């Protein structure tokens, strides 16, 4: 896969990013980070560097919670798949002609 160079603007400063992801994706991620920093800067009135750290913690928290939810949903899906398999096997056993009659 090719590497793409994209220049993004975060908190008023330009950063060159080299990535295998598309320019559109990199720009979208950069806008998300910029928005988080801007929101924190407006609400806390802290320096941009402090807001960048707070944004990183907020984004890491969001990521961790998303991963936890994915794991919870995966476990739920696996349990439902096992239940479905057991029900299917029970239905197939019921459908078999009885040989003890």
Tens digit of each residue's pLDDT (9 = 90 or more) over 50-72: 999 999 999 999 999 999 999 99
Tell me what pLDDT residue 99 has: 60
d(CA 51, CA 36): 8
Tell me what pLDDT residue 97 has: 75
pLDDT tens digits along 14-52 = 999 999 999 999 999 999 999 999 999 999 999 999 999
Tell me what pLDDT residue 2 has: 86
Check: CB of residue 4 under 8 Å from CB of residue 22. Answer: yes
Of residues 53, 19, 16, 18, the one with CA closest to residue 33: 53
In the chain, domain spans: 4-93
The string of DSSP codes covering 12-73 is TEEEEEEESS-HHHHHHHHHHHHHHHHHHHHHH---HHHHHHHHHHHHHHHHHHHHHHHHHH
Tell me what pLDDT residue 95 has: 87
Collapsing DSSP to helix, strand or coil, 6 comes out as: strand
């Amino acid at each position: 896969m090719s590497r793409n160079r994209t220049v993004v603007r975060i908190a008023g400063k330009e950063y060159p990013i080299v990535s295998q992801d598309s320019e559109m994706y990199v720009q979208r991620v950069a806008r998300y980070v910029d928005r988080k920093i801007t929101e924190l800067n407006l609400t806390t009135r802290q320096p941009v560097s402090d807001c960048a750290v707070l944004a990183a913690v907020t984004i890491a928290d969001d990521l961790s919670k998303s991963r936890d939810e994915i794991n919870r949903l995966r476990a739920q899906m696996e349990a439902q798949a096992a239940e479905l398999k057991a029900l299917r096997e029970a239905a197939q056993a019921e459908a078999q002609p009885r040989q003890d009659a």
